[in-house]
A = this chain, B = another copy of it.
Amino acid sequence: MNIGAAARASGVSAKMIRYYESIGLIPAARRMENGYRVYTATDAHTLSFIRRARELGFSLAQIGRLVRLWQDQSRSSAEVKAIAQIHILELNDKIASLQAMAHTLETLAQACGGDDRPDCPIIADLAGAGLASSLAVRNGRVPRAR
């Protein structure tokens, strides 16, 4: 298999396969006489593993550890679980942060006329019309557009 075939088989772009090799996430591929990289079905499987882990949001650093554990028959599931749980915490932190943003914005947008007039609680909030109004929003109340 050359790199294009490995890309099609794994769902990882050829560009990314070379990048993963360059950062040491996967070992350097064997080369054919013309310099082309050669891949086996096993290599493609590893790339699929990486792609799936990316889909679950793992960083490449975390994926490096997961791949090593995957290939280590003497691994303990505890090690794998620990990596996953750290990632779950990261995800939940990010979700909470984005939800807070979305909630604030939804509240402000709902209070915004969305018409031809300039008055807008969104702009007012950003301008820091202020702490008072931000606090009101945080409590679910919205300052009327003057």
Show the binding face of A for B, using Cβ within 8 Å: 45, 48-49, 52-53, 55-57, 66, 69-70, 72-78, 80-82, 84-85, 87-88, 91-92, 94-95, 98-99, 101-102, 104-106, 108-109, 112-120, 122-123, 125-128, 145
Contacts and interface: CB of A to CB of B under 8 A. Distances in A.
A136 to B, nearest CB: 15
Given A66-B126, A118-B74, A123-B66, A81 B94 contact: no
A102 B91 contact: yes
A118 B77 contact: yes
A77 B117 contact: yes
Given A52-B128, A76-B116, A98-B98, 4 more contacts: A45-B128, A75-B123, A77-B117, A91-B101
Contacts of A113: 77-78, 81
Contacts of A75: 118, 120, 123
Contacts of A99: 95
24 contacts: A45-B128, A48-B128, A49-B127, A52-B126, A66-B123, A70-B127, A72-B118, A74-B118, A75-B118, A75-B120, A76-B115, A77-B119, A77-B122, A78-B116, A80-B112, A81-B112, A81-B113, A82-B114, A84-B105, A85-B109, A88-B106, A91-B101, A91-B105, A95-B98
